[in-house]
Amino acid sequence: MTTAPLFLVPDVDELPGPGGEALLDGPEGRHAVTVRRLRPGESLVLSDGRGGFARAEMAAAAGRDAPTVRILDRTRVPAPRVRVVVAQALVKGDRGELAVETATEAGADGVLPWRAARCVARWDDGPRGAKALERWRSTVREAAKQARRPWQPEVSDPVTTAGLAERVRSADAALVLHESAGTGLARVALPSAGEILLAVGPEGGVDDAELERLTAAGAVPVRMGPEVLRASTAACVALGALAVRTGRWSADT
């Protein structure tokens, strides 16, 4: 039995109650009909990306771009007690999109693009930078749908190291992945609620001046183990460890 596909709607609270019907239009409706080829009676899930969740089934014959769906039930999923925001250094080419895709699937609650000193990729403030940012946002949106996540991570505007230091100060805990750190991720103290900021450097690593600035703001350098991971996979692995430690992957959640 396969899991029902998820489609985004503006606001789940505006959908009719159980037994009511609604139109699934726009790109999501076309995707349901032309890509997923859903037929009457087949199950799907609707979400607004802000905790709203509705189980539904196809009602009309799937021969149009805006099918009608029948609502089975609606619910609201609370936000996680511990939120993890990934400050992901810019990575060149498809590896940047891979980084945010896997981080989203592994549970990141937000993505903060970081213009670290050793980044090869450079996002300017013009059209090219805006296009790169939109690719990350589109990648995160699709990954959240694939993972059936009721809360869609927000991809913020990119920050410099100075901007990242400010975010470190406002977080309940801030961790910087670093291969020479003396503290392991399995041992660092974590809050029981609030925001954890997880900083992942570029392929060239976090330079000494950046590390000093972030630790001065309150961040803790941590390592995950003896291996050195790529910048495109480190966040995903760290998020898995954090999910276990914070209870997000416990059997009763």
Q: What is the pLDDT of residue 121?
A: 86
What distance in Å separates the CA atoms of residue 85 and residue 75, rounded to the nearest whole number? 25
Same domain? 225 vs 133: yes
Residue 117 lies in a domain: yes
Same domain (yes/no): 46, 119: no
Residue 22 falls inside a structural domain: yes
Q: For 204, phi and psi rounded to 5 degrees?
A: -80, -5
* Same-domain pairing of 158 and 207: yes
65 and 160 inside one domain: no
Claim to verify: residue 137 and residue 160 sit in the same structural domain = yes
Q: Which domain holds residue 239?
A: 82-246
Q: Are residues 159 and 232 in the same domain?
A: yes
Q: Is the pTM of this model over 0.85?
A: yes
What's the confidence (pLDDT) of residue 232? 92
- Tally of domains in the chain: 2
What b-and-e string marks burial along 52-68, b requiring 16 or more CB atoms within 10 Å of the CB? Answer: bbbbbbbbbebeeeebb
Beta strands 6-8; 21-23: pairing state: unpaired
pLDDT for 13: 95
User: Cα(53)–Cα(106) distance, rounded to whole angstroms?
Assistant: 20
Residue 190 CB contacts under 8 Å (≥ 6 apart), including other chains: 82, 173, 196, 242, 245, 246
Q: Are residues 60 and 150 in the same domain?
A: no
The torsion angle over the Cα atoms of residues 160, 165, 170 and 172, rounded to 10 degrees, is 120
Helix (H, G, I), strand (E, B) or coil at 12: helix
Do 123 and 41 belong together in one domain? no
- Tell me if 229 is assigned to some domain: yes
152 in a structural domain: yes
Mind listing the pLDDT tens digit for each residue in 91-149? 988 999 999 999 999 999 999 999 999 998 888 888 888 999 999 999 999 999 999 99
The CATH number covering residue 182 comes to: 3.40.1280.10
Residue 80: DSSP 8-state = P
Q: Which of 76, 98, 123 is the last residue of a domain?
A: 76
Residues 224 and 104 in one domain: yes
Per residue in 76-100, is it b (16+ CB within 10 Å) or e — as a string? eeeebebbbbbbbbbbeeeebbbbb
Whether residue 239 lies inside any domain: the answer is yes
92 with 24, same domain: the answer is no
Domain boundary among 76, 98, 129: 76
CATH code of the domain containing 61? 2.40.240.20
Q: What is the mean pLDDT of each run of 10 residues along the chain (253 residues)?
A: 87 95 92 89 96 93 78 95 97 92 97 95 86 96 95 96 98 95 92 96 93 97 88 95 88 50
| CA distance linking residue 122 with residue 144, whole number of Å | 26
Per-residue pLDDT at 252: 52
Are 25 and 148 members of one domain? no
Q: Please report whether residue 137 resides in a domain.
A: yes
* Residue 27, domain member (yes or no): yes
**Final residue of a domain: which of 49, 76, 103?**
76
Q: Same domain for 14 and 115?
A: no
Assess if residue 252 is contained within a domain: no
Cα–Cα distance list, 192 to 82, 185, 195, 243, 245 (Å): 7, 16, 9, 12, 10
